[in-house]
């Protein structure tokens, strides 16, 4: 596993995934992780005062406009002291079922959105075959855990 530890942010991710940054140190930067299966994980930072609910709703509406038969399920929860609002969206693309998830929350005076998308892909991780979605959830968990209040 690799660890991202810049700009007061932390998360762990598989070493064979590709990391691309776009001004994540700025008030509204982003970074993206991707792998050979086509799955991706995006962290987007928004300026102070941006409403997490609005970001989540906008992401869900964008997906609704792109995919006719999309199933959208909203959720609100607290994870590692952060109030998270988001959506899990299931849709078909090229005859494959895909899952997209958006999670939005505030941390250290910033608003963040995590967005990931994957199909039914499986990858080999630590010698085991696992769904890519499990890896994306683990990356997100490491971010939420590593960036809790009073942490990084």
Residue of 27 and 113 predicted with greater confidence: 113
State how far the Cα of 131 lies from the Cα of 18, in Å rounded to an integer: 18
Task: Write down the architecture of domain 2-146 according to CATH.
Answer: 3-Layer(aba) Sandwich (3.40)
Q: Among candidates 54, 35, 68, 50, which has minimal Cα distance to 136?
A: 35
pLDDT in tens, 93-114: 777 788 899 999 987 778 999 9
pLDDT tier at 73, thresholds 50, 70, 90? very high
pLDDT tier at 32, thresholds 50, 70, 90? very high
Contact 105, 85 (CB under 8 A): yes
pLDDT at 27: 67
State how far the Cα of 12 lies from the Cα of 51, in Å rounded to an integer: 26
Report DSSP state, residue 16: T
Average pLDDT over the chain, rounded to an integer: 86
Checking if the pLDDT of 4 tops 50, the result is: yes
Contact 121, 131 (CB under 8 A): yes
Q: Among candidates 61, 35, 28, which has minimal Cα distance to 131?
A: 35
pLDDT in tens, 40-70: 999 999 987 899 999 999 999 999 999 888 9
């Amino acid at each position: 596993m690799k660890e991202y530890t810049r700009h007061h942010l932390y998360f762990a991710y598989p070493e064979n995934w590709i990391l691309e940054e776009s001004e994540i140190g700025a008030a509204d930067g982003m970074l993206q992780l991707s792998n050979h299966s086509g799955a991706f994980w995006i962290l987007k930072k928004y300026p102070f005062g941006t409403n997490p609910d609005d970001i989540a709703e906008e992401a869900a509406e964008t997906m609704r406009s792109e995919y006719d038969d999309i199933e959208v399920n909203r959720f609100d929860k607290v994870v590692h002291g952060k109030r998270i609002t988001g959506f899990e969206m299931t849709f078909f693309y090229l005859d494959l079922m895909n899952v997209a998830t958006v999670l939005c929350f505030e941390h250290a005076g910033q608003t963040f959105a995590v967005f990931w998308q994957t199909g039914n892909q499986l990858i080999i991780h630590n010698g085991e075959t696992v769904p890519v979605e499990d890896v994306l959830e683990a990356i997100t968990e490491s971010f939420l855990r590593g960036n809790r209040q009073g942490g990084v």
